[in-house]
């Protein structure tokens, strides 16, 4: 028996296969450990499939039907997508979605990075300031949007402040003017989410060695060069995560717009998410709404993948 086991071991070594154990119990434990991880994450995987992927697949299927939410439905093929391609309100919603999404990504990341750099090491009481900046992140987006709606009203605090300092010419109906409604919405979104981006960048800056920065400064590197060649490469993982999350949140924004304007005035602030809600639950066109949701999901996936490829570190 021992000679046979030794022959198997020699053959396994020669072919690169795992060497059989002399102890059957050890071999059994090895197999158990190999499959133990499967038992731990299988329930979570099943829940993810049932809660997320299965409803998404069902919604994608109904995108090819004329279902009204109740009763029978018919398979209409690409008719819903052809109606989307004709333009009209969906084109305006798509343009607004891109404007809000791109502006949101740029502003949250630039302001969040500047705040993180300013509050990284040198500022006294920086923990209190960090907490105050991060506080809006944990608040309800609907509640904060209603507060900002009151601020932006014609007789609200913002216009009263402008009048008090002699800037009456700048007073506007901020949420009722098509030229100012998108900047107002973007302001609310950036205010509530910039704290989260700041925390991400602070986590990345914590990995930057102060000694490395000091060595670069002693070599004559200025502030910009130290940031570009020392700090930025070290925080690139944080940059990728922050930009990806903000891009997704910006493209699928719904709560703030629904609370602030409901898509108005005259559709000037309507996005794909708001259009999906109106087509599905207001107009009862569940099939068309599912098609719009599928289009929005594909846009988010394509832009997210493209962004990750652009931010991929060069070899």
Q: What is the pLDDT of residues 212-240, one digit of tens each?
A: 877 888 877 788 888 888 888 889 989 99
- Please determine, for residue 141, whether its predicted confidence score (pLDDT) is greater than 50: yes
**pLDDT, position 44:** 84
Question: Quick check: 120 and 202 in contact, CB under 8 A?
Answer: yes
Peptide linkage before 187 cis (omega within 30 of 0): no
For residue 309, how far is the Cα from the chain centroid? 16
Q: Which two tokens stand for residue 165?
A: 């300092």
**pLDDT, position 12:** 47
The pLDDT confidence band at residue 9, using thresholds 50, 70 and 90, is low
**Could you give the CA distance from residue 198 to residue 206 in angstroms, rounded to a whole number?**
12
Question: Quick check: 277 and 258 in contact, CB under 8 A?
Answer: yes
Buried b (16+ CB within 10 A) or exposed e, 118-153: ebbeeeeeeeeebeebbebeeeebeebbeebbebbb
For residue 172, how far is the Cα from the chain centroid? 31
**pLDDT, position 24:** 63
Write down the mean pLDDT value for the chain: 85
Residues 270-312: tens digit of each pLDDT: 999 999 999 888 888 899 999 999 999 999 999 999 988 888 7
Which residues make beta-bridge pairs with 65? 75
DSSP alpha helix (H) spans, the chain: 2-15, 24-48, 54-62, 79-85, 89-118, 126-134, 141-152, 157-164, 181-205, 210-218, 223-226, 232-234, 236-251, 255-260, 272-277, 286-310
- Please determine, for residue 185, whether its predicted confidence score (pLDDT) is greater than 60: yes
Q: Which value, in Å, is the radius of gyration of the alpha carbons in the chain? A: 27
**Could you give the CA distance from residue 261 to residue 238 in angstroms, rounded to a whole number?**
33
Question: Quick check: 186 and 100 in contact, CB under 8 A?
Answer: yes
Mean pLDDT of 33-37: 65
* Residue whose entry in the numeric block shows the structure tokens 């053959």: 11
Mean pLDDT of 238-261: 93
Any residues with CB less than 8 A from the CB of 30 and at least 6 apart, and which?
21
Residues 109-132: tens digit of each pLDDT: 999 999 999 888 777 788 898 999
């Amino acid at each position: 028996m021992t000679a046979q086991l030794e022959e198997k071991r020699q053959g396994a070594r020669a072919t690169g296969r795992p060497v059989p154990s002399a102890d059957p119990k050890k071999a059994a434990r090895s197999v158990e450990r190999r499959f133990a991880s499967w038992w731990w994450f299988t329930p979570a995987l099943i829940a993810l499939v049932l809660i997320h992927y299965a409803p998404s697949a069902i919604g994608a299927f109904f995108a090819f039907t004329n279902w009204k939410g109740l009763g029978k439905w018919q398979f209409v093929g690409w008719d819903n997508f052809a109606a989307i391609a004709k333009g009209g309100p969906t084109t305006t919603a798509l343009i607004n979605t891109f404007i809000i999404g791109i502006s949101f990504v740029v502003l949250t990341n630039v302001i969040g990075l500047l705040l993180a750099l300013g509050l990284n090491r040198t500022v006294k009481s920086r923990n209190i300031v960090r907490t105050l900046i991060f506080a809006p992140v944990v608040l309800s987006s609907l509640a904060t949007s209603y507060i900002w709606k009151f601020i932006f009203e014609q007789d609200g605090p913002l216009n009263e402040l402008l009048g008090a300092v002699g800037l009456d010419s700048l007073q506007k109906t901020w949420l009722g003017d098509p030229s100012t409604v998108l900047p107002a919405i973007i302001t609310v979104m950036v205010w509530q989410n910039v704290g989260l981006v700041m925390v991400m960048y602070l986590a990345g800056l914590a990995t930057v060695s102060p000694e490395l920065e000091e060595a670069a400064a002693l070599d004559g590197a200025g502030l910009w060069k130290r940031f570009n060649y020392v700090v930025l490469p070290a925080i690139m993982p944080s940059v990728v995560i922050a930009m990806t999350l903000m891009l997704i949140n910006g493209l699928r924004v719904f709560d703030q717009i629904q609370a602030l304007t409901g898509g108005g005035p005259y559709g000037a602030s309507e996005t794909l998410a708001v259009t999906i809600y109106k087509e599905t639950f207001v107009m009862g066109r569940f099939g068309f709404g599912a098609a719009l949701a599928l289009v929005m999901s594909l846009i988010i996936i394509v832009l997210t993948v493209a962004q990750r490829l652009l931010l991929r570190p060069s070899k």
